[in-house]
């Protein structure tokens, strides 16, 4: 749900998603007044956040990222077809133990410089126990 990462630092990442009328969720949410579902805005911000903690492609295959909590979610206005959803995520806490890695992310999404959503995401990385 991210079209492009525009900037990446050690503990922060910026990116965006161009929201088009062709998105499948607009067919049912809502046909007369299409609005991007809030849960998908959170998912887009979470995917962007994952870039900070997951790292390179090799790491992606070794571990799975899961939500451990979503706090302080606020939606300030709707996201409509044609909007460019610009997102920013900042890691504010990080702990790495032998079996899991946990992080807290402060995230926000904006359209044309106006904040449309904010949240605090708690994520965990767990070993991928699949054997090939």
> ω before 126 within 30° of 0 (cis)?
no
Q: Is 94 a catalytic residue?
A: no
The H or E element containing residue 44 is helix 38-54
Report how far residue 82's alpha carbon sits from residue 58's, in angstroms, rounded to the nearest whole number: 35
Which is catalytic among the residues 14, 23, 29, 47? Answer: 29
Catalytic residues: 29
């Amino acid at each position: 749900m991210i079209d492009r990462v525009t900037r990446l630092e050690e503990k922060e990442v910026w990116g965006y998603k161009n929201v088009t009328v062709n998105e499948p969720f607009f067919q049912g949410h809502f046909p007369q007044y299409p609005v991007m579902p809030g849960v998908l805005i959170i998912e887009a911000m979470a995917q962007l956040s994952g870039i900070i903690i997951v790292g390179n492609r090799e790491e992606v295959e070794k571990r799975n990222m899961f939500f451990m909590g979503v706090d302080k979610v606020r939606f300030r206005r709707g996201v409509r077809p044609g909007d460019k959803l610009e997102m920013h995520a900042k890691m504010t806490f990080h702990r790495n133990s032998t079996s899991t890695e946990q992080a807290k992310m402060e995230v926000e999404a904006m359209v044309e410089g106006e904040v449309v959503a904010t949240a605090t995401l708690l994520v965990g990385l767990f070993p991928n126990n699949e054997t090939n």
